[in-house]
């Protein structure tokens, strides 16, 4: 009788708790869904307005190069960007609400697991109490056969309840992990929208500045306006012809680097500014760490190209010497006179150098993407030290790492993987993303 009563109390307690949690969660969910529906309706209206402004901009393309035409275009661009800012703010608000609800649900699921653990503990303890008594002991205690079978039934019911409780815990754990993964995705989306919002605000500031400059020019002074156009043309020319440094090979014009990156974008969906930021970061690391020649193709040892300092670990012989020799010869280069990265001194003797060209590919890694780079470029033997080949290879590899599209979080994560540190953020990745902003600003100037 005691076992049956305890079993009833345990099951009833859990049932009452579940009803309470379900009711509270259902109320929260209902309110959240109402807020979400309202925000989605506002977003849909804004997207229609943005699309209308884009159609207006498309219709104004032929009006540029005149004072009034350019002012009208700038005003439309500003208005469209402001609508876009409102849409992004709504998206951030919507994601914020969803994140709050996800956190609440995770908390509720966690509490459910803890409560079920307590119930399971009580069931297990009671099961052990009954299990310690044999049927003979029940009989010797003077109980009737019906009493014995009643206790056995209760024991079997407890065993069944334990199995169900374990199942509930495991199912709830899986659901909790799923909710946590969804939460991480929504947090990343919120970060991406916030970064895009900042970029849009900068574009509005630039357009407002340009608009004010044009408005200050009298409509009767078309010659002065032509001077403004000439200044813009000079600025674009300066940007296009500025030298873009490349590691272990000669510098090229920024305009050429941009053209190669834009071509790579068509094949990989990796943004030109991001690819060029990676190449710039690698070139700067090359300046800091220096470059080496492999002098022994058996041990992988070599010397610094600047100081002549000996390094026993320039290139890992078991992994990279063979591929490096083959890659250099196919590119028409002498392997003994071809620059590669020196090992990082702070990493110790267990670390190897040997990365090739502006994009800094380890030879064995290059082998894995060589055919895809060749296909994208329409050539037979890509050269890691050749600018268009290196930029395309970098974009192909970054796409494999998840860098395609506009996502800030995906790009910084890919940059960290590219460097070899991994993780959702790292010093290398943050430096790359800062360069992306500066390079994109120059690209925007070329387009205005």
Q: Which residue has the higher pLDDT, 329 or 40?
A: 329
Out of 116-125, 166-175, 230-239, which region has the weakest mean confidence (pLDDT)?
Answer: 116-125
| Contact between 186 and 88 (Cβ < 8 Å) | no
pLDDT for residue 2: 46
Q: Which residue has the higher pLDDT, 401 or 79?
A: 401
Backbone region of residue 143 per phi and psi (left: phi > 0; alpha: psi in -120 to 50; beta: other values)? beta
| Contact between 76 and 60 (Cβ < 8 Å) | yes
Residue with tokens 């078309």: 222
Q: Which residue has the higher pLDDT, 369 or 187?
A: 369
Which phi and psi (to 5°) does residue 293 adopt?
Answer: -110, 140
Q: Which residue has the higher pLDDT, 304 or 175?
A: 304
pLDDT confidence of 348, banded at 50, 70, 90?
A: low
| Contact between 277 and 433 (Cβ < 8 Å) | yes
Out of 33-37, 153-157, 188-192, which region has the weakest mean confidence (pLDDT)?
Answer: 153-157
Percent of the chain with pLDDT over 90: 38
The yes-or-no verdict on residue 7 having pLDDT over 50 is no
pLDDT for residue 154: 63
Q: Which whole number is the average pLDDT over 321-328?
A: 96
The yes-or-no verdict on residue 38 having pLDDT over 80 is no
Q: In this structure, how many other beta carbons lie within 10 angstroms of the beta carbon of residue 85?
A: 17
The yes-or-no verdict on residue 249 having pLDDT over 50 is yes
Residue with tokens 């050269």: 383
The yes-or-no verdict on residue 213 having pLDDT over 50 is yes
pLDDT for residue 14: 45
Percent of the chain with pLDDT over 70: 81
The yes-or-no verdict on residue 25 having pLDDT over 60 is no
pLDDT confidence of 1, banded at 50, 70, 90?
A: very low
Has this prediction a pTM greater than 0.85? no
Domain boundaries, the chain: 2-215, 241-447
pLDDT for residue 411: 96
pLDDT for residue 53: 74
| Contact between 398 and 278 (Cβ < 8 Å) | yes
Which of 45-49, 124-128, 315-319 has the largest mean confidence?
Answer: 315-319
Q: What is the mean pLDDT of the chain?
A: 82
| Contact between 373 and 382 (Cβ < 8 Å) | yes
Tokens of residue 319, six digits: 């992994």
pLDDT confidence of 354, banded at 50, 70, 90?
A: very high
Q: Which whole number is the average pLDDT over 27-46?
A: 71
Q: In this structure, how many other beta carbons lie within 10 angstroms of the beta carbon of residue 271?
A: 24
pLDDT for residue 124: 77
The yes-or-no verdict on residue 377 having pLDDT over 90 is yes
């Amino acid at each position: 009788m005691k076992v049956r009563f305890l079993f009833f109390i345990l099951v009833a307690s859990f049932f009452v708790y579940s009803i309470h949690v379900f009711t509270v969660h259902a109320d929260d969910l209902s309110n959240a869904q109402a807020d979400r529906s309202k925000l989605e309706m506002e977003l849909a209206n804004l997207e229609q307005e943005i699309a209308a402004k884009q159609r207006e901009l498309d219709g104004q393309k032929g009006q540029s190069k005149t004072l009034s035409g350019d002012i009208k275009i700038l005003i439309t661009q500003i208005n469209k960007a402001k609508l876009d800012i409102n849409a992004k703010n709504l998206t951030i608000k919507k994601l914020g609400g969803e994140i709050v609800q996800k956190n609440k649900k995770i908390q509720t699921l966690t509490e459910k697991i803890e409560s079920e653990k307590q119930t399971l503990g009580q069931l297990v303890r009671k099961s052990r109490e009954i299990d310690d008594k044999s049927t003979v002991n029940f009989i010797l205690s003077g109980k009737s056969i019906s009493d014995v079978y009643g206790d056995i039934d209760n024991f079997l019911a407890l065993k069944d309840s334990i199995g169900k409780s374990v199942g509930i815990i495991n199912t709830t754990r899986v659901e909790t992990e799923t909710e946590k993964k969804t939460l991480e995705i929504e947090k990343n989306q919120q970060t991406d929208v916030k970064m895009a919002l900042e970029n849009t605000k900068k574009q509005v500031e630039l357009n407002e500045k340009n608009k004010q400059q044009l408005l200050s020019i009298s409509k009767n002074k078309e010659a002065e306006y032509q001077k403004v156009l000439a200044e813009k043309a000079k600025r674009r020319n300066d940007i296009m012809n500025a030298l873009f440094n490349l590691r272990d090979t000669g510098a090229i014009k920024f305009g050429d680097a941009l053209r190669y990156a834009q071509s790579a974008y068509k094949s990989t969906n990796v943004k030109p500014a991001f690819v060029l930021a990676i190449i710039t970061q690698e070139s700067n690391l090359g300046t800091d760490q220096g470059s080496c020649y492999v002098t022994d193709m058996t041990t992988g040892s070599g010397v610094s190209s600047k100081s002549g300092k000996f390094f026993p670990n320039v290139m890992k012989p078991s992994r990279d010497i063979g591929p490096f020799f083959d890659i250099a010869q196919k590119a028409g280069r002498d392997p003994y006179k071809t620059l590669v990265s020196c090992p990082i001194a702070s990493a110790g003797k267990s670390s190897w150098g040997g990365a090739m060209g502006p994009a800094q590919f380890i030879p064995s890694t290059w082998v894995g993407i060589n055919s895809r780079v060749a296909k994208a470029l329409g050539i037979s033997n890509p050269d890691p030290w050749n600018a268009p080949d290196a930029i395309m290879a970098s974009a192909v590899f970054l796409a494999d790492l998840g860098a395609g599209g506009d996502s800030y979080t995906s790009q910084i994560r890919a940059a960290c993987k590219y460097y070899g540190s991994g993780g959702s953020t790292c010093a290398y990745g943050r430096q790359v993303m800062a360069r992306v902003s500066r390079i994109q600003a120059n690209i925007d100037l070329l387009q205005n």
